[in-house]
Structure 1
Amino acid sequence: MKEIIAVIRMNMVNQTKNALALEGFPAFTCTKVFGRGKKPVNDQVPEESFLMNSNIPAEVAESISEKHRLLPKRLLSITVPDKDVDRVVNTIIEINQTSNPGDGKIFVLSVGEAVRVRTGETGEQAII
């Protein structure tokens, strides 16, 4: 079994959810998260422009000009049998890939064990 963790744009959750459901993977966990990649967020707007414009509140100018601020994202977690990993990963990529920075990241981790609390089923039976 594998756990697939995907960090995606906020506005892509419903499209991703629908695509995964169509592929036969309707069950997953989604969490609101904040993060950033290695590229500065706002290279194109110099901070001096905010200092010169008195119409912008200081809090807004600071949050916009901060190069290392955290951006809102969504974290999806889905556990699947090994044979389904490529289908899930490819579905997530297909829906979320815009070829622009910030499209997200996908991590695939091994899962040692799973237990369904309601029935006590273990292993793959607990996740299918």
Structure 2
Amino acid sequence: MKELEFIINGEKLEALKNVLDQFSNRGITLTSAMGYGHQHGLRQVYTRDDRQGVALLPKISVRTVVPDDEVDSLVDAVVNRLGTSSFGDGKIFVRNIEQAIRIRTNERDDDAL
């Protein structure tokens, strides 16, 4: 099993959800975040003493867990749908998951997804 984390611009959330829904109905976890990549974000000043401010852009982190055999095709579909070849398209992180357990039924691993 792999956890996929997609860090994207909020405007791309519906497109990402559409791609994920085509692969499964396993669910997602969404977190609002602030960050920057190569574009180095926007300058925001939080206090009067903070003359340089912090360069951050609003982002969304979307996480899901899928069986190993779905990872490559899901990643390819997301890149094809969300990619514009521009800075700010986002990132995908793939992490190993050792075990998954559905608390309600005690199902394990792929059955728990």
TM bin, normalised by shorter chain, reads 0.7 to 0.9
Given the alignment of the two structures, is residue 107 of structure 1 paired with residue 84 of structure 2, yes or no? no
Higher-Rg structure is 1
TM-score (norm 1): 0.74
TM-score (norm 2): 0.83
Aligned residues: CA RMSD = 2.3
Question: Which has a greater percent of helix?
Answer: 1
Contact 1:2/1:110, CA 8 A, preserved across alignment: yes
2:18 match: secondary structure: helix
Report the alpha carbon displacement of residue 68 of structure 1 after superposing the two structures with TM.
Answer: 5.0
Tell me, which stretches of 5 or more residues in structure 1 are unaligned?
43-58, 60-65
Question: Which has a greater percent of strand?
Answer: 2
Given the alignment of the two structures, is residue 96 of structure 1 paired with residue 86 of structure 2, yes or no? no
Q: 1:123 to 1:26 in 2, by over 3 A?
A: closer
Paired residues in the alignment total 107
Write out per-residue CA displacement over residues 69-111 of structure 1, whole angstroms, 9 at most, x where no aligned residue. Answer: 1111111101001000012211221221111111111110000
Given the alignment of the two structures, is residue 70 of structure 1 paired with residue 56 of structure 2, yes or no? yes
Higher relative contact order (CA 8 A, sep 6+): 1
1:102 match: secondary structure: coil
Q: For 1:1-128, what aligned pairs fall within 5 Å after superposition?
A: 1-25=1-25, 27-41=27-41, 69-127=55-113
